[in-house]
Amino acid sequence: MLKIVVAAQLDDQALGELSRKYDVTHFEHQIEDWSAVSRADVLVLRGHLKVDRDWLDRAPCLGLIIKAGAGVDNIDVEEASRRGIRVLTTPASATAVAELSLLLLLAVRRRLLALVQAIRNGNWAEKYNSVGHQLRGSTLGILGFGRIGQEMARIGHALGMNVLLYDRSPGVDAKRQAAAECKAIFASLETILQSADAVSIHMPSTPATRDMLGAAELAKLRPHAILINTARADIVVRGPLMQALRTGALAGAGFDVFYQEPVPPNDPLLGLENVVCTPHVGAQTVETQREIGRQVLAGIAHFDTRRVQEAQGTENVARCAVKNHP
């Protein structure tokens, strides 16, 4: 029977089905029993767990890693592959993350947090001091045109926004078709930064994208522009970002990802009035978690079937060798 370590919050139905079929040890947050890891054939994890070479040394039986999410920046995929460990992702969160990006975009554009606080303090007159911006007719710049970026483009187009796209592989036919469907235009990074009223980041964290937006890039943004990041924090250089938000060079921002997670409560970013933050909950919808659970089950079932077939093949080869031995 497969031994599985689930080091993640997982849909109850999926976890129950796994437990009925396999030997499952579940840690919702931190791993508390490393002996279970040392015996595990399969690891299911989310973003809080960093799987590097030292971690893999403690899991010598591991044959499969499944990320209950899309990004693999917390997994040393190259080292896992070198050890013959397959790495799978569960790309189910496009709609949920795009909708959260829209939520942050609207919250920043209409100064939602300041207005909520004002009315709770009895300051009705704040309505005369707070003038927001509407989305229709404005320009949305999307950095990264994968599943989430495409969903964000559809939302922007449906709201009457002009959509500009920056992608490292814009020539892919499927991307061109998706762009055409929402009348979006591929453009250079510089053009987007200089033209957009709002920039929404939907790129993975890779050596090519880390620190992609530094002081020079942020300086190209229009003073009334806002930045939304539901991808990875390290795509934007922290120092210049803080400076732009403090000085008003950048009108505001919405973040679901942080340079350190969990984010410390005394992080200066949380104290900025023009910033709206959520605790990395882009994929936290019932529908997304249910689909992630389904994909986890499917990935493990396939791995188990192939494992059994390979074992049977080895046995058959051994039998033939004995039978044909002179």
Catalytic residue among 46, 151, 280, 291: 280
Strands (DSSP E) contained in 183-302 are 185-186, 198-201, 226-229, 252-255, 275-277
Judge residue 78's burial from the number of C-beta atoms within 10 Å of its C-beta, 0-12 exposed, 13-18 middle, 19 or more buried: exposed
pLDDT (0 to 100) of residue 203? 96
The architecture of the domain spanning 94-277 is 3-Layer(aba) Sandwich (3.40)
Q: Which of 111, 147, 202, 232 is catalytic?
A: 232
Active site residue 78: no
- Nearest Cα residue to 251 out of 241, 259, 260, 261: 241
Cα–Cα distance between 154 and 181 in angstroms, integer? 8
Q: What angle do CA 224, 226, 230 make, to 5 degrees?
A: 180
Domain-wise residue ranges, the chain: 1-92, 94-277
CA distance 23 to 40: 9
Catalytic residue, chosen from 28, 181, 190, 261, is: 261
Does this chain's domain 1-92 share its CATH topology with 94-277? yes
Q: CB within 8 A of 325, min separation 6: which ones?
A: none
Cross-strand bridge partners of residue 66: 44, 88
Tokens coding 135: 């989305």
pLDDT at res. 323: 45
DSSP 14: H
Distance, CA of 164 to CA of 141 (rounded, Å): 5
What string of DSSP letters covers 269-324? GGG-TTEEE--S-TT-SHHHHHHHHHHHHHHHHHHHHHHHHHHHHHHHHHHHHHHH
261 is catalytic: yes
φ/ψ of 267, rounded to 5, equals -60, 125
176 is catalytic: no
pLDDT in tens, the chain (326 residues): 899 999 988 999 999 999 999 999 999 878 888 999 999 999 999 988 999 999 999 999 999 999 998 889 999 999 999 999 999 999 999 999 999 999 999 999 999 999 999 999 999 999 988 889 999 999 999 999 999 999 999 999 999 999 999 999 998 999 999 999 999 999 999 999 999 999 999 999 999 999 999 999 999 999 999 999 999 999 999 999 999 999 999 999 999 999 999 999 999 999 999 999 999 999 999 999 999 999 999 999 999 999 888 877 655 444 444 444 44
| pLDDT attached to residue 325 | 46
| Rounded-to-integer distance, Cα 282 and Cα 48, Å | 14
User: What is the CATH architecture assignment of 1-92?
Assistant: 3-Layer(aba) Sandwich (3.40)
pLDDT score for 322: 45
